[in-house]
A and B are shown apart, each in its own frame.
Chain A
Amino acid sequence: MLSIKNLSAAINGKEILKGVNLEVKAGEVHAIMGPNGTGKSTLAYVIAGRQGYEVTGGEILFNGRNLAELSTEERACEGIFLGFQYPVEIPGVSITNFLRTAINEQRKYRGLDPIPAKEFLKSMEEKKKMLELQDKLANRSVNEGFSGGEKKKNEIFQMAMLEPKLSILDETDSGLDIDALRIVATGVNKLRRQDNATIVITHYQRLLEYIVPDVVHVLFDGHIVKSGGKELALKLEEKGYEWIKGQM
C-alpha cells in the first residue's frame, strides 16, 4: 500500500529525514518509535503533504501513485488520514458540518454523489457509540474548548467517519489518561480491516499494549535504524534509546 524509498526531506533547508525506507501492506499496523526530534512527525507531515516540508530525495508511492504529484487534499481523497498530535481549533464550524463537507469532497473526488443525510447521521451515531462520545460533541465547534483527551478522541472519530485506507496517528497517546487511551485504542482496533493499514507514531510502549503492531520501527536521526516485531518495543522500553545508539 505505502512504499517509501530512500526519502529525504528538509524544513527551511535543514535536512530532517535522511533516507527513510518503509513498506506498509494492507492489513498491517506499524509502529514508529524514537526519541524527540528524530523526524517522526516530519515523516507524517511529508506523507500528508504539508507545505514547507520539502522532499529533497527519494519518493513515496501510495497504491502505486507518486504522492509528489498530489496536493494535501488529493492525498486525503486517495485515502490518507493524519491524526494530529496537536489538533487545530476551528471556532464557528461544527464537527457535523466539517465532517459532512470533508466526506462530500472526498466522494466528489471519487465520482460519487453527496452522502444522503440519513446515511450520514446513521454513520455518525454508530461511530459516536463506538468511541463513547457524548451526544452533544458533534454539535460543538471543531476542537474548540476541547480537553486534550476530547481532541484526540475527535481525531479518531474523524478517522472512523472518513474510513481512510492508511491512517497515520501522530502521538495520539500523548496527554491521554488511561481511560481515554483505552477508548482510542479500542476505536483503532475496531476500525482495523484487511484492506486498510495504520501507522502509529509514539514515544512510549504504553499505547502498543492496546494497539498491537505487526512491525515496530525505530527512527533515529532521520533514519530507520532498526525494525522488528512487537517485542522490539518492549526491549526499547526496558533498555532505553541509549541502547539503540550503542547498536548503531
Chain B
Amino acid sequence: MENIQIETDLKSSLESLYTERNISLFGSDSSYVAGLRKKAFDKFRKLGFPHARLEKWRGTDLSKTLATEFEFAMNAPAAEIDIESIFRCEVPHFETFLVAQLNGWYVFKHNPLTTLSNGIIVGSLAVAFKKYPELISRHYGKFSENAGEGLTALNTAFAQDGIFIYVPDNVTVPDTIQMVNIVDSDRNLMLQTRNLVILGNNSHLRLVQCDDSINHKITFINSVSEIYIGRDSTLDHYKLQNKDENSTLINTIYFHQESGSTLSSNSISLNGGIIRNSSVVELSGENSTANIYGVYLMDKDQHVDSQVFIDHQVPRCQSSELFKGILDDHASGVFNGHVIVRRDAQQTNASQTNKNILLTDKATIDTRPFLEIYADDVKCSHGATVGQLDNDAMFYIRSRGISESNARILLMYAFAAEVVNKIEIPELRQRIDDMVKKRLRGELSYCDQCVLHCSSEEKKVSFKIDLSKI
C-alpha cells in the first residue's frame, strides 16, 4: 500500500495532503460526498486539532500524539485478504457475522458488499458510496456535522472506507455483527476510519465493535461512526477496547434515535494508551430510550476519557448513563456526562452515574456529570463518586479466610460487575467477565489479534479465587 510521509506539523501535512492529492484520492466521489468533504475540510482547517483550552478536551492531552510523525494508509490494500489468516475470534459458542477493517480499509474475501437474506446489506462503505447513493445522501454526514468537533470534520474530510450496515424495516438480524478494526503496520500510522449503520423501522441489531492492534508502532485512530436507529427498533451495541500503550484511539459515535427506539451501548476499555469514547445521542422521537454504559480498568500511564452527550429533543424519552472505573498506578480518567433537556422535552427521565475507585494517590479522575434542563416537568438525577476500596467490605471478606490480595480483586470485580452484567449476550458476557478477572489479576495484556482472542494460547482462566459458576 502507498503511504504518505508527513513531516512535523500534522495539521499542515494533512492540509497539503488534501490539497495536493485531492483529485487522485477523492476524484471519484459523488457530488454529495465531495460536498461534505469540502465543507468538512474547511471546518477542520478552521478548528484544527482539539486542545486543552476546549471545555470538552480539558482532561485529555493529545499534544504528545500530535507531535508524532505519522503515515496515512490512503490507498486500499492491493490484494484480497483472507480475513481468517489475520484474525480469528475465539469466544466459545459466539456465532457472529464478522466484518473487519485492516488499517481502516474493509477486508473481504469474495464480495466487498454482501446482501444477506431479508435485504440486510453489510460491507465496505467505499463501495456503498457508489452503489447506494440514495441511502448515503439520506444518512451519511447527517448527524455528525453539527457537532463542531475538529476531529469529526477531519474524519469526514479524509474518510475513504469503513463498515456499512443497512438493515431494512421489520428485520431482526439473526447473528451478532462483529466489527473488528485491526491495525497492522511497521510504520506509525494515523487512520480516519468511518462507519455508517442504518437500522430501519421495527428492526433489531446486535453490534460488537472491537479495536485491536497487531504490532506496537504508534497509532492514532480517529474513528467516527454514525448510527441511525429507526422507529421502534432496538440496537444492542458493545465496544471492546484492548489496545497497546502506543495507541491513541478516539472513538466518536453519533446515534440518532427515532420514536419508540431503544439503544443500549456499553464500552469496555481494558488497555490502551489514550482512549476517548464519545457518544452523542440525539433522541428525536418520543418514547425512545438510550442507555449508555461503560467500564474502564486502567493502570500504568494509561488514559481513558468517556464523553456522553444526550440530547433530549422531544417529550417522554428516557436516558441513563452508568460509567464505572478502576484506576491504578498513574492512570488518569475523565468522565463528562452531558444531558440537555430541550424546552419541549417534557416528562424526560434522565440519570447519570459515574463511580470510580482510585487505587493509588497518583491515579486521577476528572468527573463531571452535567444536566442542562430547559423543560419543567422532568425527572433528572446525577451523581459521581470517587473512592478507595471499602475497608468494611475488605474486613468482612478477609474475616471469612480470603487473603487480602484476593479480597481486593473480589471487590474490584464486584465493582465492575454492575456494568458487565448489563451485557445481554451470554457468551460475550461470560468472556468479558473472564477478561475483567484476568485484567484485575494483572494477567491480561493487549491481545495481538482480536480483543476477544489472546495471542498467547488460550488457557483456561485459572483464578485462585474461583468465581466461575458452579
Residues of A at under 8 Å CB distance from B?
48-51, 71-73, 75-77, 81-82, 84, 87-93, 96-106, 109, 114, 117, 120-121, 141, 158, 162
Given A100-B466, A101-B465, A104-B466, A93-B414 contact (CB < 8 Å):
yes
A92 x B421 contact (CB < 8 A): yes
> Which stretch from B35-43, B59-67, B400-408, B452-460 is at the chain A interface?
B400-408
**B470 & A117 in contact (Cβ 8 Å cutoff):** yes
Shortest beta-carbon distance, B81 to chain A, in Å? 41
Residues of A within 8 A of B467 (CB): 93, 97, 101
Q: What is the CA–CA distance of A104 and B470 in the complex, to the nearest angstrom?
A: 14
> CA A88 – CA B114 in complex, angstroms?
54
Q: B98: which A residues are within 8 A, CB to CB?
A: none
Distance between Cα atoms of A84 and B470 in the complex (Å): 27
Q: Which A residues lie within 8 Å of B468 (CB)? A: 97
A75: which B residues are within 8 A, CB to CB? 399
Nearest A residue to B465, CB-CB: A101
Assembled-state Cα–Cα distance A84/B397 (Å): 11
- Chain B residues closer than 8 Å to A72, beta-carbon distance: 395, 398-399
Looking at chain B's contact residues, the main secondary structure is helix
Supposing A91-B417, A92-B415, A93-B417 touch, asked if A102 and B393 sit within 8 A by C-beta, the answer is no
A90 touches B414 (CB 8 A): yes
18 extra interface residue pairs, beta carbon distance < 8 Å, beyond A50-B399, A102-B400, A105-B402:
A72-B395, A73-B398, A73-B399, A73-B401, A75-B399, A76-B401, A82-B399, A84-B396, A90-B393, A90-B397, A90-B410, A91-B417, A92-B417, A92-B421, A96-B470, A97-B469, A100-B466, A101-B466
B470 touches A120 (CB 8 A): yes
Give the residue name and chain of the A residue nearest to B416 (CB).
A92
**Interface secondary structure of A, over-half rule:** helix
Across the interface, do B391 and A51 meet the contact criterion of CB distance under 8 Å?
yes
Question: Are A93 and B393 in touch, CB under 8 angstroms?
Answer: no
Known: A73-B398, A84-B396, A162-B401. A114 touches B466 (CB 8 A): yes
> How many residues does chain B have at the interface if contact means C-beta atoms less than 8 Å apart?
31
Of all chain A residues, the one with the shortest Cβ separation from B411 is A90
Known: A50-B395, A51-B391, A101-B467. Is A91-B414 also a contact (CB below 8 A)? yes
B413 at the binding interface (Cβ < 8 Å): yes
A48 adjacent to B399 (CB under 8 Å): yes
Knowing A76-B401, A120-B470 are in contact, say whether A93-B395 is a contact too (CB < 8 A).
no
The winner among B406, B413, B415, B470 for most chain A CB atoms within 10 A is: B470
Complex formed: what's the CA distance from A54 to B395 in Å? 15
Tell me, in angstroms, the Cα distance from A162 to B400 when the chains sit together: 8
Residues of chain A within 8 A of B402, CB atoms compared: 73, 101-102, 105
The 9 listed contacts between A and B (C-beta, < 8 Å) are: A49-B399, A88-B390, A92-B421, A93-B414, A97-B468, A101-B410, A109-B401, A120-B470, A162-B401
- By the criterion CB–CB under 8 Å, are A102 and B470 in contact? no
CB neighbours (8 Å) of A88 from chain B are 390, 392-393, 396
Known: A51-B391, A100-B466. A76 touches B399 (CB 8 A): yes
Assuming the contacts A90-B411, A92-B413, A92-B421, asked whether A100 and B470 have C-beta atoms less than 8 A apart, the reply is: yes
Q: Does B377 contact A (CB under 8 A)?
A: no
Shortest 10 CB-CB contacts between residues of A and residues of B: A92-B417, A76-B401, A92-B414, A102-B400, A88-B396, A72-B398, A106-B401, A101-B465, A73-B398, A88-B393
Q: Decide: B400 and A76 in contact? CB cutoff 8 A.
A: yes
Contact residues in A for B404 (Cβ distance below 8 Å): 71, 73
Shortest distance in angstroms between A13's beta carbon and chain B's nearest beta carbon? 18
Residue of B nearest to A78 (CB): B401
B418 at interface, CB cutoff 8 A: yes
Q: How far, in Å, is A142 (CB) from chain B's closest CB?
A: 9
- Residues of chain A lying within 8 A (CB to CB) of residue B470: 96-97, 100, 117, 120-121
In the assembled complex, the CB of A209 is this many whole angstroms from the nearest CB of chain B, namely 28
Docked Cα-Cα span, A153 to B400, in Å, equals 16
| A114 partner residues in chain B, CB cutoff 8 A | 466
B42 to chain A, nearest CB (A): 49
Chain B residue nearest to A141 (CB atoms) is B414
Tell me the bound Cα distance from A117 to B395 in angstroms.
27
A residues near B403, Cβ cutoff 8 Å: 73, 105
Q: Which residues of B contact A117 (CB under 8 A)?
A: 470
- CA of A99 to CA of B402, assembled, Å: 10
* CB <8 Å contact, A91 and B418: yes
User: Once bound together, how far apart are the Cα atoms of A121 and B410, in whole Å?
Assistant: 22
A-facing mask of B412-444, CB < 8 A → 1, else 0?
011111100100000000000000000000000
Q: How far is the CA of A150 from the CA of B410 in the complex (A)?
A: 22
Is B401's CB under 8 angstroms from A93's CB? no
Which residues of B have CB within 8 Å of A82?
A: 399
Please name the residue on chain A nearest to B417 by beta carbon.
Answer: A92
| Cβ–Cβ contact A87 & B396, under 8 A | yes
